[in-house]
């Protein structure tokens, strides 16, 4: 018998009670948070799809592993388990532990980026680009045009435009490019994968010019699943084999273990060059801790090692990606505009389409995220003009093509009925969109990563929804 939807490949051993806040609480909490879902208190949120980062449910085996964490300051057994597991599954020769992904980005940027250098990538990620910019580098987007088109159903919207990349190298000069950064999957494009063939083409072009390739491996396992299901040659290979083949095409990786690895905190930097490893370790000592713990407790390293082994299991990654697709498909069936195809970790609403009557300067995505929370207690987050920030030189607002609200799904936390509630809530606001007349304006705008702490007020009055 065929089943339309296979059940989650786990059962629940421990539960965390939650309850639905009253409408008045939602209304008041949104105003206390300055209409910014980033500033909500978690107790005021019902279903929290703010991020899939560090919000995953750990397995019984991970919790058990935490109990045997070796907390020795130097050379902990837990570090060696962590180290050997990463080497085994990701293949980098040198593994440097850090407290989370951005710490690896900080360290590799400090080691490799210099003032005036250029960094091509398949769309930016905020923390990655900021560390490049803080070290004097300039990011250059070389993703295929489809990556910026929410309606394109291209199966690998995270691919590089190899022509664009070649032109960038020619125009800027290979000597000004420390490395090409490869996102897999591409978070800001909607969790979209890069194909193995495209990654191989990037590698080849980089080799021609002696340029390094650095992988952002946060969701490389989700990417591996898409390669397996969408790239014919890889259909019969295991997720572990595909992951290793992807990493093989790169010289280094920055990793946030808060994503694929089911951990609540942690990360690492993997490199092949012994010289770069030594340079990076000296930075870890300054910013993170000794090079055998890098800001993590021994128990965190145990949880990550165990999590990696679980993450490459086929039923695990299948359930993860299919749950995201389930939510996306329910919205598609109700004609809610979403980024297509549905990505690996999140469903992205195309706020510019839903609120096409709200000007971009009034931040339709921020407005839509606020409206959905106010009506349902479901928390998503803006991924559009607010997240893109201002241009470092001109100070003008960057207006990316994509103006999205992201609903990221924590791994193994919510069930299908939670997804149904989320879908119903989003569909409800979508159907009431004509009652949202205006957007939001800044009341407070921080200089760096402004989306986390910005505060807003409605352009007009104090309500988002006009009366019927
Ligand atoms: C989360 C993330 C990072 C940064 O990792 P943190 O652990 O949050 O510091 C970098 N790149 C991508 C694609 C991410 O999703």
pLDDT score recorded for residue 392: 78
CA nearest ligand 1 atom 5, residue: 101
Q: How far apart are CA 435 and CA 48, in angstroms?
A: 25
Return the closest-CA partner of residue 192 out of 387, 10, 404, 420.
Answer: 404
pLDDT score recorded for residue 104: 98
Question: Is 91:83 a contact under the CB 8 Å cutoff?
Answer: no
CA nearest ligand 1 atom 14, residue: 218
pLDDT at 212 over 90: yes
CA nearest ligand 1 atom 4, residue: 101
pLDDT score recorded for residue 22: 97
HSE-up of residue 8 (Cα within 13 Å, Cβ side): 16
For the CA of 54, the nearest atom of ligand 1 = 7
pLDDT at 213 over 90: yes
pLDDT at 84 over 80: yes
Q: DSSP state, 7?
A: P
Mean pLDDT, residues 78-101 taken together: 98
pLDDT score recorded for residue 36: 97
- With the most atoms of ligand 1 within 8 angstroms of its CB, the residue from 253, 256, 343 to mutate is 256
**Which residues line the pocket of ligand 1, CB cutoff 6 A?**
53, 100-102, 125, 127-128, 183, 187, 216, 218, 256, 258-259, 267
| Cα 335 to chain centroid, rounded | 25
Report how far ligand 1's centroid is from the alpha carbon of 410 (Å): 14
Label residue 396 by pLDDT band (50, 70, 90). confident
pLDDT score recorded for residue 451: 80
Report how far ligand 1's centroid is from the alpha carbon of 259 (Å): 8
CA nearest ligand 1 atom 12, residue: 218
**Residue-wise pLDDT tens digits, 242-276:** 999 999 999 999 999 999 999 999 999 999 999 99
User: 119-128, 391-400, 427-436: which has the highest mean pLDDT?
Assistant: 427-436
Mean pLDDT of the chain: 95
Instruction: Calculate what percentage of the chain has a pLDDT beyond 70.
Output: 100
pLDDT score recorded for residue 126: 85
Mean pLDDT, residues 41-48 taken together: 97
**Residue-wise pLDDT tens digits, 111-155:** 999 999 999 999 988 899 999 999 999 999 999 999 988 889 999
Q: How far apart are CA 273 and CA 361, in angstroms?
A: 46
pLDDT score recorded for residue 92: 98
pLDDT score recorded for residue 2: 76
- The end-to-end CA distance of the chain, in Å, is 48
The token pair at 402 is 């994509």
Full DSSP string of 106-137: HHHHHHH--TT-EEEESS--HHHHHHHHHTT-
Mean pLDDT, residues 396-423 taken together: 93
Which residues on neighbouring strands pair with residue 405, listed in sequence order?
349, 382
For the CA of 185, the nearest atom of ligand 1 = 13
- With the most atoms of ligand 1 within 8 angstroms of its CB, the residue from 98, 107, 127 to mutate is 127
Side by side, the strands of the sheet bearing 346-350 are 346-350, 404-408, 381-383
Rounded to the nearest 10 degrees, the angle between the axes of helix 314-333 and helix 416-431 is: 30
pLDDT score recorded for residue 319: 96
Q: How far apart are CA 338 and CA 354, in angstroms?
A: 9
The token pair at 350 is 């195309």
Determine phi and psi for 302, rounding to 5 degrees: -65, -45
Mean pLDDT, residues 332-359 taken together: 96
CA nearest ligand 1 atom 10, residue: 101
Mean pLDDT, residues 190-201 taken together: 96
Label residue 408 by pLDDT band (50, 70, 90). very high
For the CA of 183, the nearest atom of ligand 1 = 13
pLDDT at 220 over 80: yes
Report how far ligand 1's centroid is from the alpha carbon of 236 (Å): 30
Region at 281 (left for phi over 0; alpha for psi -120 to 50; beta for the rest) = alpha
Radius of gyration of the chain (CA): 22
| Cα 256 to chain centroid, rounded | 9
pLDDT score recorded for residue 391: 83
pLDDT score recorded for residue 73: 95
Cβ burial of 179 (10 Å; 0-12, 13-18, 19+) is buried
For the CA of 258, the nearest atom of ligand 1 = 7
Report how far ligand 1's centroid is from the alpha carbon of 170 (Å): 30
Region at 34 (left for phi over 0; alpha for psi -120 to 50; beta for the rest) = left
CA distances from 181 to 252, 293, 391 (A): 10, 26, 20
Report how far ligand 1's centroid is from the alpha carbon of 127 (Å): 7
pLDDT at 177 over 80: yes
Taking the model in full, what pTM does it have?
Answer: 0.94
Report how far ligand 1's centroid is from the alpha carbon of 123 (Å): 14
Report how far ligand 1's centroid is from the alpha carbon of 289 (Å): 20
Label residue 399 by pLDDT band (50, 70, 90). confident
Full DSSP string of 275-315: HHHHHHHHHHHHHT--TTTTT--HHHHHHHHHHHHHHT-HH
**Residue-wise pLDDT tens digits, 276-297:** 999 999 999 999 999 999 999 9
For the CA of 103, the nearest atom of ligand 1 = 9
Angle, CA 186 vertex, CA 305 and CA 401 arms, to 5°: 155
Report how far ligand 1's centroid is from the alpha carbon of 25 (Å): 31
Report how far ligand 1's centroid is from the alpha carbon of 258 (Å): 8
Taken in order of first residue, the domains within the chain and their CATH numbers are 23-52+314-458 (3.90.1150.10), 60-311 (3.40.640.10)
Label residue 467 by pLDDT band (50, 70, 90). confident
């Amino acid at each position: 018998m065929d089943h339309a939807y296979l059940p989650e490949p786990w059962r629940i051993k421990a539960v965390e009670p939650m309850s639905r806040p009253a409408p008045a609480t939602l209304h008041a909490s949104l105003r206390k948070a300055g209409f910014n879902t980033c500033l909500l208190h978690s107790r005021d949120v019902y279903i929290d799809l703010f991020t899939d980062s560090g919000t995953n449910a750990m397995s019984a085996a991970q919790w058990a592993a935490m109990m045997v964490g070796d907390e020795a300051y130097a050379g902990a057994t837990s570090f060696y388990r962590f180290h050997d597991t990463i080497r085994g599954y990701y293949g980098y020769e040198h593994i440097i532990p850090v407290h989370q992904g951005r710490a690896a980005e900080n360290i590799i940027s400090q080691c490799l980026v210099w003032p005036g250098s250029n960094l091509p990538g398949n769309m930016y990620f905020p923390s990655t680009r900021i560390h490049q910019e803080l070290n004097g580098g300039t990011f250059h987007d070389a993703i295929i045009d489809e990556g910026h088109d929410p309606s394109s159903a291209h199966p690998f919207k995270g691919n590089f435009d190899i022509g664009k990349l070649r032109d960038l190298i020619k125009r800027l000069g290979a000597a000004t490019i420390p490395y090409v950064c490869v996102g897999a999957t591409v978070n800001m494009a909607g969790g979209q994968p890069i194909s193995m063939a495209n990654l191989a083409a990037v590698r080849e072009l980089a080799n021609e010019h002696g340029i390094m390739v650095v992988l952002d491996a946060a969701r490389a396992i989700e990417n591996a699943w898409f390669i397996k299901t969408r790239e014919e040659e890889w259909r019969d290979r295991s997720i572990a084999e595909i992951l290793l083949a992807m990493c093989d095409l790169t010289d280094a990786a920055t990793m946030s273990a808060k994503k694929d690895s089911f951990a609540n905190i942690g990360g690492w930097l993997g490199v092949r060059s012994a010289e770069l490893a030594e340079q990076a370790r000296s930075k870890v000592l300054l910013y993170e801790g000794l090079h055998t713990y890098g800001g993590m407790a021994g128990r965190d390293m145990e949880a990550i090692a165990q999590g990696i082994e679980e993450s490459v299991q086929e039923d695990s990654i299948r359930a993860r990606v299919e749950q995201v697709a389930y939510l996306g498909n329910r919205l598609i069936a109700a004609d809610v505009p979403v980024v297509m195809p549905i990505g690996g970790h999140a469903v992205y609403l195309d706020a510019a389409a839903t609120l096409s009557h709200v000007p971009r300067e009034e931040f339709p995505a921020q407005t839509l995220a606020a409206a959905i929370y106010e009506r349902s207690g479901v928390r998503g987050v803006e991924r559009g003009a607010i997240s893109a920030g201002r241009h470092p030189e001109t100070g003008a607002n960057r207006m990316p093509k994509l103006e999205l609200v992201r609903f990221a799904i924590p791994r193994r936390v919510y069930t299908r009925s939670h997804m149904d509630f989320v879908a119903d809530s989003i569909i409800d606001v979508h159907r009431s969109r004509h009652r949202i007349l205006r957007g939001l304006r800044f009341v407070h705008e921080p200089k760096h990563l402004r989306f986390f702490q910005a505060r807003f007020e409605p352009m007009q009055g104090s309500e988002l929804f006009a009366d019927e």
